[in-house]
Structure 1
Amino acid sequence: MACTKPPSAPRNANFNINETALFLEWSPPSDMGGRKDLTYSVICKKCGSDPSQCELCGGGIRFIPRHTGLTNSSVTVLDFVAYANYTFEIEAMNGVSELSFSPKQFAAITVTTDQEAPSFIGMLRKDWASQNSIALSWKEPDYHNEVILDYEIKYFEKENEELTYSSTKSKAPSVIITGLKPATKYIFHIRIRTASGYRGYSPKFEFETGDETSDMAAEQGQILVITTAAVGGFTLLVILTLFFLITGRCQWYIKAKMNSEEKRQSQLQNGHLQFPGVKTYVDPDTYEDPSLAVHVFAKEIDPSRIRIERVIGAGEFGEVCSGRLRTPAKREIPVAIKTLKGGYMERQRKDFLREASIMGQFDHPNIIRLEGVVTKSRPVMIVVEYMENGSLDSFLRKHDGHFTVIQLVGMLRGIASGMKYLSDMGYVHRDLAARNILVNSNLVCKVSDFGLSRILEDDPEAAYTTTGGKIPIRWTAPEAIAYRKFSSASDAWSYGIVMWEVMSYGERPYWEMCNQDVILSIEEGYRLPAPMGCPASLHQLMLHCWHKERNLRPRFMDIVNFLDKLIRNPSSLHTMVEDILGIPESPGDVPEYPVFVSVTDWLDSIKMGQYATNFLVAGFTSLDLVSRMSIDDIRRTGIALIGHQRRIVSSIQTLRIQIMHIQEKGFHV
């Protein structure tokens, strides 16, 4: 055999930087050295104005997952310093690299962090502690160039040595940390965020939670306060009761009677019985004049308070712009403005304002917030909060592979929380999809686009059904497609598709299949396979959402509780679907697929024909060999784009299911 050698340097090194993290990505070397055991190492150097004056970054910089022994061609860098020049040297290595006397070959990339960041927190103080909680406070640093947006507090048990940690945020210079263990020492440190980004963490501070005796003392103090307040309150109540009995018993009785009658009338307003403490969605179409509903649920805004800055998109009825809204407190806030184009008909105006009538009834952190409407002048406008990162699907495609699984689960939890709120109000969305989820600068996901909860006319993803009207086939439950039976259960099906979109970083559901093939495949029991890197527990939740019987699908309350358990126990997310031996269960039979004669045919069918040579050179010349490929095998073919790796993994999983299905019928593959 020919001697092997170290690989050449990685190619096409590039970076992407945001407020909190720096993402490095590169392509595999052109020469692998005749070996397959390829890994990468990243060395960080901090440089001054003179490029020759560089020193190693030291322990201040963190690499996720690590800086040596990398098998993926990407790494995330955290805790970098503002206004600094960093040089990253990326070296490819294999089993003989350490034996070579030749100079190391690496790809170098220089990054300048030109954002300005606030000062450190110098001192952290413990105000009080109980068995399970600690109250902390600190002095706001003297920093005048930018407004401090919030503080991030990171904490972990001292004994764990930061193997597992938690974090929380606070807008004020104080916080109460709950859910801690009794009589346990914890390490805390804080960093600050402005519009420019994060500063490094403060020094570490050590505090201990209380034990039972400290809680008993606190409870005794609380009992004393409560007892004193109760005695005083009872005395005051007796005095007031005597006063009313003596001076105004008759008047009080008459007024109470009138209030009771008014309350009963308000509960029957517009024909909708309203129960105390329960907010119920009111369909604007139930009003005698639906155009009046917008004035009931939405606030009229003086157009002089709105400043339109630029066009950011096109809506169903006109342009969508970004701008500023001056609040009554003379403070300007960023907003998105939907405008109604000129030459509209009255029906279009009613449909346009109908969305505001719906949005104005909702008040939840994961539902897009309506600021108000402009109806008394032209153009007619709907003003909502501004979401800096736009729609979720395009945001994920732009940042493919850049988030941890726990971050993606956090996004899914936010969407589920918003949908639980809508479900509790009795509202059915009908068009839940990643394109209708908006993302702000803090990665908070909010459900939007309530105007499309009616029959869709202009949506490119929609298709005509046998019952008339247009609906988004790839996101819609079978009973809604066939019989137009929309419910919270059909929204749960759509939520499962959104989960798949998030875990695949914005991949198109069912890829290039036409809508009719999607309908037939679902009827025959086919379900989307798990995306690459998807935890098994999340894919199981997707399959539950896609249950054929709608009554057996999880409620949004169940989904939120399940995701909360995963977030509280991140180790449950470590098991990936591709790590499990065997084929994941699907809730039905697998439909017939076209027969692929060769690897090239199969790659062409999933729009990956450009990689046919990669597969053949790597020795994967038959579909039987392809069906046994692992993720590492796919990476060794030289496919560097994470999105393409993910699509191939999903297709291989489908290919395995198809092969198993054929073999079960007694045929040879």
Structure 2
Amino acid sequence: MPVELKNKIYNGVKVCRPGFFKASPHSQSCSKCPPHSYTHEEASTSCVCEKDYFRRESDPPTMACTRPPSAPRNAISNVNETSVFLEWIPPADAGGRKDVSYYIACKKCHSHAGVCDECGGHVRYLPRQIGLKNTSVMMVDLLAHTNYTFEIEAVNGVSDLSPGARQYVSVNVTTNQAAPSPVTNVKKGKIAKNSISLSWQEPDRPNGIILEYEIKYFEKDQETSYTIIKSKETSVTAEGLKPASVYVFQIRARTAAGYGVFSRRFEFETIPVSVAASSDQNQIPIIAVSVTVGVILLAVVFGFLLSGSCCEWGCGRASPLCAVAHPGLMWRCGYSKAKQDPEEEKMHFHNGHIKLPGVRTYIDPHTYEDPNQAVHEFAKEIEASCITIERVIGAGEFGEVCSGRLKLPGKRELPVAIKTLKVGYTEKQRRDFLGEASIMGQFDHPNIIHLEGVVTKSKPVMIVTEYMENGSLDTFLKKNDGQFTVIQLVGMLRGIAAGMKYLSDMGYVHRDLAARNILINSNLVCKVSDFGLSRVLEDDPEAAYTTRGGKIPIRWTAPEAIAFRKFTSASDAWSYGIVMWEVVSYGERPYWEMTNQDVIKAVEEGYRLPSPMDCPAALYQLMLDCWQKDRNSRPKFDEIVNMLDKLIRNPSSLKTLVNASSRVSNLLAEHVSLGSGAYRSVGEWLEAIKMGRYTEIFMENGYSSMDAVAQVTLEDLRRLGVTLVGHQKKIMNSLQEMKVQLVNGMVPL
């Protein structure tokens, strides 16, 4: 009513004063201008928006003027080969509207020029690029080894009305190595009664150098019995086929990252016998002439061979025909059929079983009579002048570990890590030191540390690898406790599993898989490293003597490997489960301060590490699967990779956490008393873990004894005002550790 009195009345019609408006002349009352709008004139029918505030045509005049939202916050990325998962927090200021959505801009950047171009239409966005309502998106079909910048912009109903600069948060990522895209274009060539020739184009996205193609073919409706041909060219001829039969062909390419997926099916039919016979009949005169000429030429060549003149060229240029007349010369020249490296290899399958496998496998350098031969076969020699050592970053078993730069002729400069062999080494130490390079040089995978080369012809002797900015995974996690999302942690675990799958496929058993032996770069890509101590771990501080001699890392090692030194990919899978536990607990020491003998005893009795705090149930179940006593029941690394991929594609599956009450062994009976442990009072315990500030709060709320403290849950801590995640974790882990020590600690399987 007071507002009504302030507005004037002319000729019986109410006129709104400045600051008020009447949208319709038929309205009986004036309305105050909504927030962020004004009017300086009488009798206004609408209010004008303040500077930097806007109103859409569809917005009612009674609605407040609004503005574009601020930029999204805390954007993080997870790179998986050529896919990138982005996640962010909504903007702090939504602009006064509820219709906020997100737009993703993708730019492909050239590091050498600092120029970025639009990504183009080949990139796919899941679920979409424009109009995103949720705060996450996945980009797939990116290029390998490419720098990308993603700009995440929050928009609302008035964003297109604002002339101001876009408000966005950007994320820079570098994609990893990836398998090539499928072959899409296959053409048939010459077709005969018993053969079909094919040619094709290189995949649209090779993602590296194509090493070879694999051609799979089978008679139509006979898919269980198929043949595979390998070719280094983009053409091949399949022979030994049946006349007048339809054959199905599929082709896939391989790079250092592995095989791409097979192409779609292409069907081609061989010529019937009758047609082929007719064609052959027309060729008889030509063939007869050809045979006559061939016989004459062959006689001349054999006469030449018997004179021995062709072999006078020497080993470097000797013709293979010399073998006919002078087989001894060819033996001395090292010529044999096995050395020809044919362009095509054939592998025959029947009902899915390989008859002639051609899989690349790991070669143990210790089997070489001369270790130097292994080093130079698997590792590239680098001139010491190409290396610049900048600073010492650590100490290894054999000497210092440094960071520096590598500049090879014709290539761009690279940051590298350099392991040096200390002065005064023995020949055995030199052999063991270079043994790691002989192993590492056989591997080529984005989740395995990459060997650049070795320096053996000058001192100091060096091993040069790619540089990993964030160092070892366990130390990195401890420094960044609680700083990553679950998806980021799963991305790290996926990378480690992919590297281990590659090693397993190569037939290599790591034996010392642990977070301290995983390196992590600035893009949070994890790479398996430390191959030098994979045989006998004599100087490892985490190792313990076994009854059979030698040292092994007890806390990470499978029971059968401890008891019988039975190391396999299955024992590596056990170790991977421990690494999972380390990652989710941010570098916590497995089994805490239990002795190695206590760990061995507890594991043999069926106890397992309890779930880390706030651990997704799906991840803990995978840990328990890795810790199956029967090694044949543990998941293979390809199964682990597939499982983690499913979790990454479906983040909601990670929201179910392990029940806090079940984190500790159900064998912890209610009568178990913590008061009989090392701490005589609650205050002494809290002071010991540097949480003494909470002593008074615990006492005031009835937690005056260690027995009472034993029942504390995470919810209780929050109620007591312990809100810092790091403090909650420290207290809960300390309680859990004490309980574990009382029952030899773990969750029984």
TM range, smaller chain: 0.5 to 0.7
From the superposition, tell whether residues 275 and 396 of structure 1 become closer, same or farther in structure 2 (CA, over 3 Å): farther
Counterpart selection for 2:610 from 529, 533, 536:
529
In 2, distance between residues paired with 1:630 and 1:302? 60
1:590 and 1:255 mapped to 2: Cα distance? 81
Distance 1:643-1:291 versus aligned 2 partners, 3 A rule: farther
Give the AA of the match of 2:133. Answer: E
Residues of 2 paired with 1:409 and 1:353: CA distance? 34
Report the AA paired with residue 633 of structure 1. Answer: D
SS at match of 2:417: strand
Contact 2:448 2:499 in 1 (8 A): yes
2:73 match: 62
Query: Are 1:417 and 2:485 matched, yes or no?
Result: no
- Counterpart code for 1:583: S
> Conserved in 1, the CA contact under 8 Å of 2:674 and 2:707?
no
- Separation in 2, partners of 1:660, 1:517: 10
Structure 2 letter corresponding to 1:528: L
Q: Which has the larger radius of gyration?
A: 2
Partner residue of 1:97?
A: none
- Quick check: 2:520–2:527 contact (8 Å CA) kept in 1? yes
Q: Percent of aligned pairs with the same residue?
A: 57
CA distance in 1, matches of 2:676, 2:616: 31
2:606 aligned counterpart, secondary structure: coil
Q: Label 1:541 to 1:261 Cα distance change in 2 as closer, same or farther (>3 A).
A: closer
Q: How far, CA to CA, are the matches of 1:466 and 1:660 in structure 2?
A: 25
Query: Is 1:355 matched up with 2:436?
Result: yes
The residue number in structure 1 matching 2:517 is 436
1:542–1:386 CA distance, 2 compared to 1 (3 A): same
- C-alpha distance 245-644 of structure 1, shift in aligned 2 (>3 A): farther
Mapped to 2, the partners of 1:159 and 1:191 lie a distance apart of 12
The 5-angstrom pairing of residues 487-526 of structure 1 reads 487-526=568-607
Give the counterpart letter for 1:578 in structure 2: N
Q: How does 1:651-662 map to 2 (within 5 A)?
A: none
Contact 1:150 1:171 in 2 (8 A): no
What is the aligned partner in structure 2 of residue 345 from structure 1? 426
Moved more, 163-172 or 489-498: 163-172
Q: Is the 8 A contact 2:574 2:627 kept in 1?
A: yes
Using the alignment, how far apart are the partners of 1:234 and 1:513 within structure 2?
A: 64
> How far off its partner does 1:483 sit?
1.8
Instruction: Give the conservation status (yes or no) of the 8 Å contact 1:371–1:385.
Output: yes
In 2, Cα distance between equivalents of 1:287 and 1:262: 20
In structure 2, give the amino acid aligned to 1:549. D
1:262 aligns with 2:343: no
The Cα of 1:508 is off from its aligned counterpart by 0.8
Could you say which structure has the higher helix fraction?
Answer: 1
Aligned-residue offset at 1:327: 2.5
Q: CA deviation at 1:255?
A: 10
Provide the residue aligned with 1:179 in structure 2: none
2:377 corresponds to: 296
Structure 2 unpaired stretches of 5+: 1-66, 77-86, 94-102, 154-166, 171-183, 200-234, 238-275, 277-282, 302-318, 325-334, 346-354
Query: How far is the alpha carbon of 1:329 from its aligned partner?
Result: 1.9
Give the Cα–Cα distance (whole angstroms) in 2 for the partners of residues 548 and 620 of structure 1. Answer: 39
Kindly indicate whether the alpha-carbon contact (under 8 Å) linking 2:75 and 2:169 is maintained by their aligned counterparts in 1.
no
The code of the aligned residue for 2:611 comes to A
The residue that corresponds to 1:563 in the other structure is 644
- Cα distance in structure 1, aligned partners of 2:663 and 2:378: 47
Which residue does 1:156 correspond to in 2?
127
Q: Alignment partner for residue 461 of structure 2, among 352, 369, 380? A: 380
Map of 2:536 onto structure 1: 455
- After superposition, give the CA deviation of every residue in 1:567-603 in whole Å (9 maximum; x if it has no partner): 1111110100036xx63697x9779998422795597
1:391/1:434 contact within 8 Å kept:
yes
1:119 paired residue number: none
Residue 480 of structure 1 and its aligned partner are, at CA, apart by 1.4
* Match runs of 1:3-14 below 5 Å: none
CA distance in 2, matches of 1:648, 1:616: 15
Q: Indicate the SS of the match to 1:453.
A: coil
What is aligned with 1:642? 725
Q: Greater shift after overlay, 322-331 or 555-564? A: 322-331
Equivalent residues of 2:89, 2:135 under 8 A apart: no
Cα 1:627–1:590 shift into 2, 3 Å: closer
Question: Residue type of the partner of 1:596?
Answer: L
Q: Secondary structure of 1:383's match? A: strand
Q: Is the 8 A contact 2:104 2:151 kept in 1?
A: no
Question: Does the alignment pair 1:368 with 2:455?
Answer: no
Q: What's the TM-score, normalizing by structure 2?
A: 0.57
With over 3 angstroms needed to count, the CA separation of the structure-2 counterparts of 1:609 and 1:519, relative to structure 1, is farther
Answer yes or no: is the 8 Å Cα contact 1:283–1:358 preserved in 2: yes
* CA apart distance, 1:648: 3.6
Post-superposition Cα deviations, 1:6-28, rounded to whole Å, max 9, x if no partner, equal xxxxxxxxxxxxxxxxxxxxxxx
Q: Deviations over 1:484-518 (max 9, x none)?
A: 11111111111011000000011111112122221
Name the aligned partner's letter for residue 494 of structure 1. Answer: S
Q: Is 1:471 aligned with 2:552?
A: yes
Deviation at 1:561, TM superposition (A): 1.2
Query: Displacement of 1:653 after TM fit?
Result: 5.8
Please say if residues 673 and 707 of structure 2, whose CA atoms lie closer than 8 Å, have aligned partners that are also in contact.
Answer: no
Measured at CA, do residues 464 and 531 of structure 1 come closer, stay the same or move farther in structure 2, by a change above 3 Å?
A: same
Structure 1 unaligned residues grouped into runs of 5+: 1-55, 66-75, 81-85, 88-121, 125-137, 177-187, 193-198, 203-221, 268-273, 663-669
- 1:262 partner letter: K
> Is the 1:311–1:320 contact (alpha carbons within 8 Å) kept by the matching residues of 2?
yes
2:610 and 2:664 in contact (8 A); partners too: no
Deviation at 1:629, TM superposition (A): 3.4
Contact 1:529 1:650 (8 Å CA) reproduced: no
Query: Taking structure 1 as reference, are residues 173 and 394 closer, same or farther at Cα in structure 2, changes over 3 Å only?
Result: closer
Backbone CA RMSD of aligned residues: 4.9
* TM-score (normalised: structure 1): 0.63
Distance in 2 of aligned mates of 1:423 and 1:143: 35
TM-superposed deviation, 1:311: 0.7
Change (3 A) 1:623 1:255: farther
Aligned to 2:401: 320
Q: CA deviation at 1:160?
A: 6.1
How far does residue 245 in structure 1 lie from its aligned partner after superposition?
Answer: 7.6
Partner Cα distance (1:57, 1:401) in 2: 32
Deviation, structure 1 residue 523:
1.7
Residue identity in the other structure for 1:552: S
SS of structure 2 residue aligned to 1:384: strand
2:502 and 2:109 map into 1 onto residues whose CA distance is 38
Q: Which amino acid aligns with 1:456?
A: L
In the alignment, is the contact (CA less than 8 A) between 1:314 and 1:320 conserved in 2?
A: yes
Partner of residue 401 from structure 1, selected from 479, 482, 485: 482
For residue 116 of structure 1, what is the aligned residue in structure 2? none
Aligned-pair CA distance for 1:167? 3.2
The equivalent of 1:166 in structure 2 is 138
2:702 to 614, 619, 622: 619
What displacement does 1:619 show? 3.1
* CA distance 1:256–1:430, change in 2 (3 Å): farther
* Alignment partners' CA distance in 1, 2:602 and 2:427: 42
Superposed CA deviations along residues 105-158 of structure 1, whole A, max 9, x for unmatched, are xxxxxxxxxxxxxxxxx998xxxxxxxxxxxxx886899984669979865346
Q: 1:616 to 1:523 in 2, by over 3 A?
A: farther
**How many matched pairs?**
497
Is this contact kept in 1: 2:517–2:529, CA < 8 A? yes
Distance 1:477 1:540 in 2: 17
Aligned pair in 2 of structure 1 residues 291, 642: CA closer, same or farther (>3 Å)?
A: farther
Please, which moves more after superposition, 249-258 or 482-491? 249-258
